[in-house]
Amino acid sequence: MIITRRLAAGACALLAALAVGIAPASAADGPSKDSPKVELVLDVSGSMRARDVDGQSRMAAAQQAFNEVIDAVPGGVRLGIRTLGANYPGDDKEIGCRDSKQLYPVGPVDRTEAKAAVATLRPTGWTPIGYALRGADQDLGTDKGTRRIVLITDGEDSCGQPDPCDVARELAAKGTHLTIDTLGLAHDDKTREQLTCIAEATGGTFTSVQHTDQLSGKIKQIVRRADTPVETPKPVEGAAECAKAPEVGAGIWTDRETFSDHRWYRVKVKPGQELRTSVSVGADRAVDRDYGVLVRAVGENGQELVRGSDAGSGRTDVMSSGLRYPVAKAKDKNDKEARTVCLEVFNSFSAPPSVKRDPGLPLELAVDLVKSPDNPSDLAAFGLGRGWVLLAVLAVTGLLAGLVWGWLSRWRVAVWRAN
């Protein structure tokens, strides 16, 4: 009787779902067209024969990790696999440096087929990383979904041209929101430096891997991250002056800025709104020691409204600054027009002559428009309150510190006398 009731309930639920058009989608339907895409790029060069990962070869460790990742791919992610150095075993460098092919197409994952393809791999040839990255970029296409490449290799590029770091910068400059994460199975300084450079050029991460579970865990993490909804930055090209600057609204915008360059953007701010903006300029290549970033808001008449700046010295990955500018509420019906605020972004990065200037440094501009405070003059500065508030805090802190120090001194004297 209980079984009959459960079957009847299940049938009713299915009929109800069909009636409102929400019957469960079949696995064959797969992810939507704009769902995130990830391509795993695996080094299958001869050096992957080395047996130094948990007592097995690097290749076996990578295959085991790939099988675990394939089993764990979220339903909303389209996954593909590309190899480098998997097919040509010879000594002809020209041929070996074009040895990169797509092993499994980017799309819904058939776990059996994907695992079978991975199982056929054997360490073979060269390490054309730059060439493989360009191929992976083409594999991912140009639709609206987020795009990630996960590069797994045990060494640096063995071909030299195209240079992998230059390729990563070129792909980032295309404005297709590509992120490259790199995982290194070797731990020498040259490999680490190159893989870090590739990742930083696109806002990705570099991880040095020593164990199989660490490799599979990191790839799973990256694939899951691709499935996490994030705001996609919009490409924009700043102008050399305010009058010709593009208009940007609330959101995250990406651009490229050459060394010591000035870029202008325009924002419409309505009465009663507060403009909040921050800018980050990434150092995706070697730069000189001293640098800075400035962002300032300028009115239509050329008068500076507010500015924010930061500077540093030594090794850095990114330099950021920001500002806030409130517009008072409208005083009457004729005072409701939005103000045009021009944003100027300047960086003082420089580099040795041997460092490539093109494409420019990656720039990210975040713009937000929120309700302005009732009294814009009471707006706190970044990191500090208004002067009297800060003075009061310092005075109270000093008083408390003095009382504590006095009590400790009296206690020490009392102890000394007692002894």
- Asked if the structure places residue 3 within a domain, the reply is no
- Asked if the structure places residue 314 within a domain, the reply is yes
Strand order in the sheet with 339-347: 262-269, 339-347, 290-298, 304-313
Residue 96: domain span:
26-226
Residues 6+ apart with CB under 8 A from 72: 220, 223
Domain CATH for 198: 3.40.50.410
- Asked if the structure places residue 15 within a domain, the reply is no
In total, how many domains does the chain have? Answer: 2
The pTM of this model reads 0.65
CB 14 within 8 A of CB 23: yes
How far apart are alpha carbons 327 and 385 in whole angstroms? 20
pLDDT of residue 402: 72
pLDDT of residue 116: 95
Q: Looking at the chain, how many residues does it have?
A: 419
pLDDT of residue 399: 72
Q: Do both 205 and 246 map to the same domain?
A: no
Q: Do both 67 and 192 map to the same domain?
A: yes
How far apart are alpha carbons 194 and 157 in whole angstroms? 8
Which two tokens mark 409? 């001194």
Q: Do both 222 and 302 map to the same domain?
A: no
SS3 of the chain: helix, strand, coil, percent, to 5: 35, 30, 40
- Asked if the structure places residue 55 within a domain, the reply is yes
Q: Do both 169 and 264 map to the same domain?
A: no
Q: Do both 200 and 258 map to the same domain?
A: no
- Asked if the structure places residue 177 within a domain, the reply is yes
pLDDT (tens, 9 = 90+) of the chain, 419 residues, equals 333 444 344 444 433 433 334 333 334 456 666 788 999 999 999 999 999 899 999 999 999 999 999 999 998 899 999 999 999 999 899 999 999 999 999 999 999 999 999 999 999 999 999 999 999 999 999 877 789 999 999 988 999 888 999 999 999 888 677 899 999 998 888 999 999 999 988 888 899 888 999 999 999 999 988 887 666 678 899 999 999 999 999 998 989 999 999 999 999 999 989 999 999 998 888 889 999 999 999 998 889 999 999 998 887 778 899 999 998 887 776 667 888 999 999 999 999 999 888 888 989 999 999 887 655 544 444 433 344 455 566 677 777 777 777 777 676 666 666 66
Identify the domain boundary among 171, 202, 226: 226
Q: How far is CA 46 from CA 39, 67, 211, 214, 245, in A?
A: 22, 21, 20, 22, 52
Beta-bridge mates of residue 341: 267
pLDDT of residue 387: 47
Q: Do both 269 and 355 map to the same domain?
A: yes
Q: Do both 187 and 311 map to the same domain?
A: no
Domain CATH for 261: 2.60.120.380
Identify the domain boundary among 165, 200, 226: 226
Question: Of 232, 222, 146, 142, which Cα lies nearest the Cα of 182?
Answer: 222
pLDDT of residue 392: 65
Q: Do both 312 and 280 map to the same domain?
A: yes
Q: Do both 281 and 337 map to the same domain?
A: yes
Residue 100: its H or E element: strand 100-107
- Asked if the structure places residue 404 within a domain, the reply is no
- Asked if the structure places residue 365 within a domain, the reply is yes
How far apart are alpha carbons 272 and 418 in whole angstroms? 67
Identify the domain boundary among 226, 257, 285: 226
How do residues 300-338 score in pLDDT, each as one tens digit? Answer: 888 999 999 999 888 777 889 999 999 888 777 666 788
Q: Do both 64 and 143 map to the same domain?
A: yes
pLDDT of residue 329: 83
- Asked if the structure places residue 264 within a domain, the reply is yes
Residues 6+ apart with CB under 8 A from 232: 144, 146, 177, 252
Q: Do both 255 and 171 map to the same domain?
A: no
Q: Do both 196 and 62 map to the same domain?
A: yes
How do residues 93-143 score in pLDDT, each as one tens digit? Answer: 999 999 999 999 999 999 999 999 999 999 999 999 999 999 999 999 987
pLDDT of residue 418: 67
pLDDT of residue 100: 94
